[in-house]
Structures are given as structure tokens and as C-alpha cells.
Amino acid sequence: MIVIMLGPPGVGKGTQAKLLSEARGYRHVATGDLLRAARREGTELGRKAQAFMDRGELVPDEIIIGMVEEVLGAVDPEGGVILDGFPRTVPQAEALADSLDRLGLSVDRVLLLTAPDEVLVKRVAGRRSCPVCGKVYNVHFNAPAEDGRCDACGSELVHRADDDPETVRNRLGVYRRQTEPLVDFYRNGAGAAVVEVDGNRSVDTVQSALFEAVDGRGAGT
């Protein structure tokens, strides 16, 4: 099962992809997380990506495509893969189709999460994440037990630099211009089922809708 999570920043792709991958044993591949890890480690990839990420722009396709091909080459695709934050442009989607084709696979589901812009800006402003285990919180509706500390591993939570309101508005514009065209790309004959899910609901409600869309089974089964 190859699943793509599509949707604007702050809509809940990461949270839901994590839940889905844990419940179904899929490999969760989040390109934003991979790039942030590369930056922390100071690799060449991290240095190349830095300026684009800080401005809220997309990292060039050739850098991202190379990175994802490396990851896909190492995973067991038979076990299922959930792609979170990739593809984000039509050339990335075409490159993904080619890579999967070489493995005898194709995209099975595109899960499109939606929410109004004002909800997204508020969610992203309140987002805090754990740089160590990747758990994501929100100071407005999913706060950690101890202010600023990860419940799971106790590390100090961070507010991503590209989550400031101005950069988020830029990221939303980039999403509309460069990523939203993928909805038509997949709807018009790329062979994958596109399922649109209203992301402006509780984490549990969205989770149930996504589980249903992936394999017709509920979250608890």
C-alpha cells in the first residue's frame, strides 16, 4: 500500500501519518522531517535546503527527488509506505511514479486533508514539536502535560522557525500554486483513488475517516 498525504501546512498531515503508520505498520516518510534532520546534522543536503526552508519556499525538485529515491530504495514497499509532504510538485509526482514503476508498484491512495486558511494559520502558530522523537503538540488544543516538555521523551519542545505567521502565509501561497495542482494530476488518470477528508475536526474523527479511506477498517482494528 502506497499512500500519499496531501494538504496545506498545519492541516494535520504529520500527526495523522504518524497514527496511521503506527497502527498499520507502514513506513512513514516525511520529507520535512528528513530535511530538518539533515540540517541538524549539518550535511550538504541540509545546507542546500536551509535557505529555501527558512523562506517557506520549496526545496528544488532535483534535491528532493534524489533524497526520496534513496529512502524508497531502502524500504520494504510491500510493507506499505506513507508519504507525508511528498510529492509537492507535478515533476516530483512524475518522478515518484517512475521510481515506483521500477519497483513494480504504484500509488494506491491520495488522502487530501483540507481546512480553512484561518484555522491553518492558528494551528501552525500554536504548534510545538519535539526535535528528538518528533511528537507534535499544540498549545491551544493538545498541550503537553508539562509546559514546553515532550510527554513522550522529556525533551524541550521547539517552535519551528518557518511556523511564524508571515512564513506560514508564504507557505500557504506556495501550497496553492505548486502543490494543489497535484489533486487534478491524481484525479485525472494517475490511477490512484483521491479521498478528500475534512481536517477541521478532532484528531480522532479525522483519524477514523482516514483509516476508513485506506482500508475500510476503523482506527481500533
Q: Which residue has the cell 503538540?
A: 137
Query: Which residues contact residue 36 at a Cβ distance below 8 angstroms, ignoring those fewer than 6 apart?
Result: 53, 131
128-167 mask for ligand AMP (x: CB under 6 A)?
----------------------------------x-----
HSE value, Cβ hemisphere, 13 Å, CA-based, for 61: 12
How many other CB atoms sit within 10 Å of the CB of residue 189?
8
Cell of 209: 475517516
Q: Distance between CA 89 and CA 102 in Å, rounded?
A: 20
Residue 17 is a binding residue for ligand AMP (CB under 6 A): no
Q: Which of 36, 123, 127, 128 is catalytic?
A: 127
Question: Which one of residues 11, 45, 64, 81 is an interface residue with ligand AMP (CB under 6 A)?
Answer: 64
Q: Distance between CA 175 and CA 205 in Å, rounded?
A: 24
Question: Which one of residues 3, 29, 38, 58 is an interface residue with ligand AMP (CB under 6 A)?
Answer: 58
Residue 52 is a binding residue for ligand AMP (CB under 6 A): yes
Cell of 126: 500554536
Residue 11 is a binding residue for ligand AMP (CB under 6 A): no
Active-site residue, 177 included: no
HSE value, Cβ hemisphere, 13 Å, CA-based, for 37: 10
Q: Name which of residues 18 to 37 contact ligand AMP (CB under 6 A).
A: 31-32, 35
Cell of 59: 526545496
Query: Which residues contact residue 41 at a Cβ distance below 8 angstroms, ignoring those fewer than 6 apart?
Result: none
Residue 9 is a binding residue for ligand AMP (CB under 6 A): yes
- C-alpha 35 chain-centroid distance: 12
Q: Which of 122, 123, 135, 160 is catalytic?
A: 160
Residue 171 is a binding residue for ligand AMP (CB under 6 A): yes
Q: Which stretch binds ligand AMP (CB under 6 A): 80-88, 93-101, 132-140, 194-202?
A: 80-88
Q: Name which of residues 178 to 197 contact ligand AMP (CB under 6 A).
A: none
CB of 187 to ligand AMP, least distance (A): 20
Q: Distance between CA 33 and CA 39 in Å, rounded?
A: 10
Q: Which residues are catalytic?
A: 13, 88, 127, 160, 171
Q: Give me the residues that bind ligand AMP (CB under 6 A), please.
A: 9, 31-32, 35, 52-53, 56-59, 64, 85-86, 88, 92, 162, 171
